[in-house]
């Protein structure tokens, strides 16, 4: 199956399974969507760039300047929850790109398909629209 969504370049160190937005610092760059004020591009892949060493290394999907795989519009993927999420809920990016309940006027990045507790991975369908109410 062909890759429907393009690869991007990390404009900053990116964590796995987090919302990202366009970054104008260079062409095709993304950074973590941290406030719901910008349209969502997608969600970083749920995997690290290298094998983790528990309590020694931080797991990143990509470091600044590296290519990063992003799940785009219509994809179903996992995103880290910043609070408890329920099925059918609209979510947006918050601090470091984690998913929280979307607020009025924010850009919705996903619809929860399978909810979870804070700090766990929720299954979502990636979307991109501005919430009216």
Q: Residue 5 — pLDDT band, cuts 50, 70, 90? A: low
* Helix, strand, coil percentages for the chain (3-state, nearest 5): 0, 40, 55
pLDDT above 60: residue 107 = yes
What's residue 1's pLDDT?
A: 36
Mean pLDDT value of segment 37-55 = 86
Owner of token pair 């987090």: 18
Domains assigned to the chain: 8-130 (2.40.300.10)
Q: What percent of the chain has pLDDT over 90?
A: 78
pLDDT above 50: residue 2 = no
Q: Provide the sign of the torsion angle of the four alpha carbons 46, 65, 12, 43, taken in this order.
A: negative
């Amino acid at each position: 199956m062909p890759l429907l969504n393009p690869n991007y370049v990390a404009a900053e160190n990116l964590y796995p399974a987090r919302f990202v937005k366009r970054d104008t610092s260079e062409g095709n760059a993304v950074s973590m969507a941290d406030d719901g004020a910008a349209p969502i591009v997608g969600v970083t892949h749920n995997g690290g760039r290298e094998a983790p060493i528990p309590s020694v290394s931080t797991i990143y999907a990509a470091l600044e300047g590296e290519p990063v795989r992003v799940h785009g519009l219509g994809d179903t993927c996992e995103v880290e929850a910043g609070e408890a999420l329920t099925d059918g809920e609209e979510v947006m990016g918050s601090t470091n790109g984690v998913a929280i309940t979307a607020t009025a006027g924010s850009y919705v990045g996903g619809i929860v398909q399978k909810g979870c507790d804070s700090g766990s991975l929720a299954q979502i369908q990636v979307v991109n629209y501005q919430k009216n109410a």
